[in-house]
Structure 1
Amino acid sequence: MYVFPGQGSQRKGMGKDLFEKYPDLVAQADRLLGYSLRELCVDDPDRVLNRTEYTQPALYAVSALQYLDHIDSGGAPPAVVAGHSLGEYSALFAAGAFDFAAGLDLVRRRGELMSRAPKGAMAAVVNLDQERVADLLTALPHHTIDIANINSRRQCILSGVYDEVHAPEVRAAFVEAGGSFIPLNVSAAFHSRCMTDVQEEFAHHLAGVDFHELRIPVIANRTARPYPTTGYADLLVQQISSPVKWYESISWLMARGHDDFREIGPGNVLTKLTAKIREEPLTIAEPARPAPPTPRRTPRRPEIVFMYGGQGTQYHRMGRELYDTHPAFREAMDRCSALYEAAQGTSLVAAIHDSTRRGQDFDDILHTHAALYSVGWSLTEALRAEGFHPDAVLGHSLGEYVAATVAGAMSFEDGFDLVMKQAHLLKLRCRPGGMLSVLAPPALHQRRRDLFAGLALAGVNFGGDTRGNFVVSGESDRITEARAALDREGVVSVRLPVRHGFHSALLDDIRHECRSLGRAVTVSGPRVPVYSCAYAAELDAGALDRWDDYAWDVIRGRVRFDELMAASFRDPERHYFVDLSASGSFVNFLKHGYGPGHRGTFAINQFGNNTASMEKLREGLREVTGGAAPEGGASERLGGRLAGVP
């Protein structure tokens, strides 16, 4: 795998040993450029090497000659090539897109056009990830600064109008967020909207160029995926104003087994970037191939639905007995804890199993958000190890993220990253709040506004004329007052162990940031149906396309479990529910709200004896499946492995 550097790698003296080896090509370059290539690169007497119109042809020529020298000296041809910005032309030369002189003419014209662009500026932002950089840009009062390069997880390059990039408040925003802000020595805003006019002029120039069929795969800056072998001129045009997705490009190659990266050209900038990317590669999720339509019919056996719970179901030492006795569960929890520790510096498993906190509320959002996600996912892994897989998944509040991960709509890493970052936003930006579970018909909320003034209806789990269960959410003091009033009227209510008012206006301060977290997720078509309590329906293509909306709606919208059950699970004989919440809440909902026809079993609950409850769950699944993994279900579609699990 050969990679070619872009502007910034040029230096006086580059190519000194190459020019004598390829005198014919150097003579071609001198005639085309109208000056001595060797003199420019080796001596730079007029000190113009760092000017764009000179840098681009010089750097292309030296990289191309070094590539020829490597091959002529017996070096193996590359399996795939990639170039950073200008370096993409060197990569295309190596792949046979054009000969040396044609490529030099392209970059000469490109450099001339860029040198005439309006005055712009660029700056490196280090130690902040792309999502955080994007959020900070959105919050600034400037609107012509773009992310031009995404070089690694914690290195982006900004590009835009000179006065905006150099505005004091821009630097201050990134420094205050914990990043470094480093202005770059350039005169134009490369790879930004400021290059639109240059892009249009360059497109006219390319119209007369005859590009050859590529002999080697070339990874495009714009898409982070291979060029088509023919008809690819538009990618070179669009590259001028589009961001360079280097982080994703190298991560994509690594995910496909490419591990030996050789930098061809002056310097070692890309070699250093590769080392950083290797430490923290971007998780790459490929789009799922569309599944063939499945006829709607009653299955020969009940459909197995895995169900995942959210905030309020957690408690200290949840799953501890299973952690001590079930290797697959323990391995999955340890994997979650390792990710958590890498990001937060503390052990998630230790926080969950803290014996000194037994009996106390487990309500620190920095622990509980990740803990609930981890327990749901690890219980799934435990069942997978025993051959049991879902035909469908259902999530309740935070549990929707687990369900989406299990179904393959997003990767395990993306899901875990989402809940960790969301927890930090909640902790830092949201006012304290609380939630109250009320054991009464939901109509009480409408009928008695005096009891619930200032509190949002956060969700309805089941309801009828004489019984039901709903949850209200809001400021902590109002939760306390409502509970006391309900007690006086003989209505049972339980305060949930949460410090935040989920599904209420108390979360609105982080709406933008939460949507940004959703946009950062790579979404694929789920391999099994995903039933959403936020939408009271199965997730469709529209929800997948608007994952930023969905990520927000999961914690802000009302939990409509009752509506979902009525719409999607009307025939109890067709479904068998597997409760993978930490508390066994779903089994209680089914028992008290939907009747004995809705069959289901929980994996664990707060009363312990996890081993016995897991054995009962196994028995129920064996009965449903006839002692085998679900026929034609997820075990077949996922190849015996849950989506999102490498």
Structure 2
Amino acid sequence: MMNKPVIFMFSGQGSQYYQMGKELYENNAQFRYWMDHCNEIVSPLIQTSLVDVLYGKEGKSKPFDRLLYSNPALLCIEYCQVKVLKELGIQPDFLLGYSLGELTASVISGSVSLEDGIQLVVDIAKLAEQRTQSAAMLAIMESKAIMAKSPDLFEQCWCTGTNFQENFVVCGLPHVIQNLQGCLNNINIISQVLPVKYGFHTELIDPIEEEFKQVVKKIKFSSASVPIISASRNEVIKELKEDYLWEVIRFPVNFEQTVDKILEKGDYVFIDSGPSGTLATFVKYMLPSNSGSVSFQMINQFGRDLNAIEKLKTSLLENVI
């Protein structure tokens, strides 16, 4: 067993890419079994094979930004990675989700069934694509204080996520984000457009609120077998309520504040069960130099999945009693 509580982390939109988890799918029987199971649930809902979409001809460098496919892909990839972790004997004490990752956490916790979770993320995608206008998101490598210092730059933008001290995300209409990135380039501030084409965590998705809540009413909630740490509410949740799921996609994410609050309570093992390792990186930037907490990723788009899993196993052995 671990000598520190284990937190599984789940990233949201923006962390996805084509071919994510492919090497695991081809070489890890547990991952493949559950991915095929998820695919059977998803495929009738999206009118195509999710596995074919993920592992077809598109390379990692092409933006994977069709919400109808990327939403269920993220949930399924994260769900299957947890199955791999559990096969390795690694169990979570807490689940921490970022945006859509909170919906993954609700499934992993047992609060929402896999079938309902997949149906929900597909419904969110369909509603967003049909009822909301296009938007764009930009990750900015700078303190969020720049928004107050340069209000004209950010006049038509919303902050949708605070990741760590010098990393936050804004959303706006596509031409606004394009102009903002140009201005940031001119003052040597690094930014990156994320593969997200809708205005989650802003008023741009308000047109889907009523229909979304009607969808959620069909879900049968159960008690969470593993507590969820909500990055939207910045608190531990054991019983899911209907409004919580709307808050997850509507209001900004404060990942930095959530992790800081966790770290005040002691030392933890953070394991990023998302596809890109971004949350593990965020946590590393936040850990004090004298911290006993550690942060690991499972896979990312730059390395080999199997090597990444082996590295994770080796690293975790150092944190076993």
Distance between the aligned counterparts of 2:314 and 2:296, measured in 1?
Answer: 10
Hey, what's the Cα distance between the residues in 2 that align with 1:515 and 1:356?
34
Would you say how many aligned residue pairs link Structure 1 and Structure 2?
A: 319
Q: Which residue of structure 1 lines up, in the alignment, with residue 260 of structure 2?
A: 566
Q: Does 1:382 align with 2:55?
A: no
**1:110-154 Cα distance to aligned partner (Å, 9 max, x none):** xxxxxxxxxxxxxxxxxxxxxxxxxxxxxxxxxxxxxxxxxxxxx
The match for 2:187 is 489
Q: Is the 8 A contact 2:161 2:170 kept in 1?
A: yes
Letter in 1 for 2:231: C
Q: Does 1:421 align with 2:116?
A: no
What secondary structure sits across from 1:625 in the alignment? Answer: coil
TM norm structure 1: 0.48
Q: Deviations over 1:309-348 (max 9, x none)?
A: 0000011101111111111111111111111112222100
- After superposition, residues 549-560 of structure 1 pair within 5 angstroms as 549-560=243-254
Distance 2:20 2:49 in 1: 15
Distance in 2 separating the partners of 1:441 and 1:344: 39
* 2:22 aligned to which of 320, 337, 344: 320
Tell me which amino acid in the other structure corresponds to 2:271: V
Checking the alignment, whether the CA contact within 8 Å between 1:403 and 1:530 is kept in structure 2 is yes
Give the TM-score normalised by the residue count of structure 2. 0.95
Worse overlay, 490-499 or 444-453:
444-453
- Which of 168, 176, 179 is the matching residue for 1:470? 168
Residue 311 to residue 410, structure 1, CA distance change in 2 (3 Å): same
User: How far 1:427 moved relative to its partner?
Assistant: 1.0
Aligned residue number for residue 276 of structure 2 = 583
Q: Greater relative contact order: 1 or 2 (C-alpha under 8 angstroms, separation 6 or more)? A: 2
Whether 1:515 aligns to 2:210 is no
d(CA) in 1 for partners of 2:286, 2:261: 15
How far residue 585 of structure 1 moved from its aligned partner, in angstroms, is 0.3
1:534 matched residue in structure 2 = 232
Checking the alignment, whether the CA contact within 8 Å between 1:388 and 1:621 is kept in structure 2 is no
Q: Deviations over 1:15-43 (max 9, x none)?
A: xxxxxxxxxxxxxxxxxxxxxxxxxxxxx
1:614 aligns with 2:309: yes
Tell me, what secondary structure is at the counterpart of 2:164?
strand
| Aligned residue type for 1:564 | T
The CA deviation at 1:592 is 2.1
SS for the counterpart of 1:356 is coil
The CA distance in 1 between the partners of 2:59 and 2:309, in whole Å, is 25
Q: Read off the aligned partner of 2:254 and give its amino acid letter.
A: R
Q: Which residue of structure 2 lines up, in the alignment, with residue 29 of structure 1?
A: none
- Taking the aligned partners of 1:447 and 1:593, their CA distance within structure 2 comes to 23
**CA distance 1:359–1:461, change in 2 (3 Å):** same
User: How large is the Cα RMSD of the aligned pairs?
Assistant: 1.6
Aligned residue number for residue 147 of structure 2: 445
Match status 1:604 vs 2:299: yes
Contact 1:431 1:500 (C-alpha < 8 Å) held by counterparts: yes
| Conserved 8 A contact 2:60-2:301 | no
2:158 matches 1:456: yes
Q: Residues 306 and 577 of structure 1 are in contact (CA less than 8 Å); yes or no, is this contact kept in structure 2? A: yes
Give the superposition deviation at 1:357. Answer: 4.1
SS of the residue aligned with 2:318?
A: helix
* Superposed displacement of residue 593, structure 1: 3.0
CA drift of 1:571 comes to: 4.7
Q: Which residue of 2 aligns with 1:593?
A: 286
- 1:416-442 deviation per Cα after TM superposition (whole angstroms, max 9, x unaligned): 111011111111111000100001111
* Post-superposition offset of 1:566: 2.1
- Percent of matched pairs sharing the same residue: 32
Gaps of 5+ in 1: 1-298, 627-646
| 3-state SS of 1:349 partner | helix
Instruction: Indicate if the aligned counterparts of 2:18 and 2:58 stay in contact, CA closer than 8 A.
Output: no
Cα pair 2:223 2:238 within 8 Å, conserved? no
Over 3 Å off, 4+ runs: none
Counterpart of 1:502?
Answer: 200
Structure 2 runs not aligned, ≥5 long: none
- Among 73, 86, 108, the residue aligned to 1:371: 73
Give the drift of 1:404: 1.1
